[in-house]
Amino acid sequence: MDETPDGTLDLEALHAAHVLTQRARFDRALSACGYSGVIVYSGPLAPIFRDDQTYPFKAHAWFKAWVPLVDVPDCFLYYEPGRTPVLLFHQPADYWYKSAATPQAYWTPQVDLRPVADRAAARAALPGNLGTTAYIGALFRELAAWEVRTANPRDLLTRLDYDRAVKTSYELACLRAANRSAARGHRAAARAFASGASELEIELAFIRACGAREQELPYNPIVALNESGAVLHYQMLERTPPPALHSMLIDAGAEAAGYASDVTRTYSYADPDFASLIERFDEVQQTLCSGVHAGADWRDVHLSAHRLVAELLHESDITSCDAEEAVATGVSSVFLPHGIGHLLGLQVHDVGGLLRSPEGGEIPRPEGHPYLRLTRVLEEGFVVTMEPGIYFIDSLLAQARGDTRAARINWTRVDALRKFGGIRIEDDLAVTASGAENLTRDAFAVERE
């Protein structure tokens, strides 16, 4: 079960204020798009092909934005401006599986909660005429008979996605709690790595410290030993340790009330040179964090990251050219091929990162940086990840060796570092008017050993 936000806070008041913000956002969006109301679906249990089992359930983010109900499929929230949101809570009479108990929590006063046995009962509890109502969520067979005006209208979703980037006080409390849980997990994982554990054993140590099942995490942890750290979204979990341990890159987050943390750390097992490179890289990451504030263009932050990483590559004798030349010629992209970060919240890679306005349109990525997930100017209340990296990726190095970039790379040094895979350090930052609150560093400070 998800960790709830800090129990010392008045969660009921925070959530009540959050729902008022949600209502105002939906009121504006529904009015602008010409809808009288909206149905938001928690999501279905998706069956596995030709099997009687289902995939693990993940609640839709647009539903979690109203209520932190993350583990009950087939719920519906109906909202009509000026009226209390109605939560149709799926509670079937079933002896094969245990039905969810009727919630009684800090958030329940904000909804008119009505248990329903199935989708037919949910439809009966909704207004008879849904001809001016929008629907948001996965489609299901019976939906056509509900006769909603439209499902997942792009104009409505665009407005909601644009607004969602700014977090309420309640959401920030949830994100702080998610970071505290992740910090506990990361400390346990670091201890397991130091003891010589396998990738699977390290993941299990992380999960146990978080007090969660794997399906309750926002994403499957990346636990990469040695050269596997060069695979950006490494998905394997080897069950035996490698013959020799050199390094660990762990990218793993936790959830609280449906909100995600996204945290990465890198460790050297015994090599002092690589440990020194990690320490110097951490300074680069913290310099980038210190430059985050409302009004900053994230594209400029991304390009600054490339310059700082290029400086470190030169200082560390990995490249022979200065930072400006490394960025201009694409040498820095050999070692840092991904974006510097993304919006974070109800989804790990939260929506709306490229939107130009509530009406739509995209802010283009800088030329030569196709994987950047965020191009907006930061606003107070945004939550972003800061995750620079240096990697020794065979395919990218092979491409560079075959063109003009080869003369700018110290191949002897690169070959010596390949066995470590790479370095990534990632924190979650809440943007303020003058800077940023580092949710991750604060969490690690609280969750001291």
pLDDT band at 1 (very low <50, low <70, confident <90, very high): very low
Read off the pTM: 0.96
pLDDT band at 447 (very low <50, low <70, confident <90, very high): confident
End-to-end CA gap in the chain: 24
Task: Quickly name the fold that domain 169-446 has.
Answer: Creatine Amidinohydrolase (3.90.230)
SS3 (DSSP) at 129: coil
Classify the C-alpha dihedral 225-228-233-239 as positive or negative: negative
Q: What angle do CA 64, 66, 70 make, to 5 degrees?
A: 30
Domain with CATH 3.40.350.10 in the chain: 11-163
**CA-to-CA dists, residue 12 to 18, 26, 100, 109, 296, angstroms:** 10, 21, 22, 8, 33
pLDDT band at 3 (very low <50, low <70, confident <90, very high): very low
What lies within 8 Å, CB to CB, of 96 at 6+ separation is: none
Domain with CATH 3.90.230.10 in the chain: 169-446
Model pLDDT, residue 448:
73
Comparing C-alpha atoms, which of 236, 260, 258 is closest to residue 249? 236
pLDDT, one tens digit per residue, over 150-204 is 999 999 999 999 999 999 999 999 999 999 999 999 999 999 999 999 999 999 9
Q: What is the mean pLDDT of the chain?
A: 96
Q: What angle do CA 246, 252, 255 make, to 5 degrees?
A: 165
Q: What angle do CA 316, 321, 322 make, to 5 degrees?
A: 85
pLDDT, one tens digit per residue, over 230-281 is 999 999 999 999 999 999 999 999 999 999 999 999 999 999 999 999 999 9
pLDDT band at 144 (very low <50, low <70, confident <90, very high): very high
pLDDT band at 8 (very low <50, low <70, confident <90, very high): low
The CATH-assigned architecture of domain 11-163 is 3-Layer(aba) Sandwich (3.40)
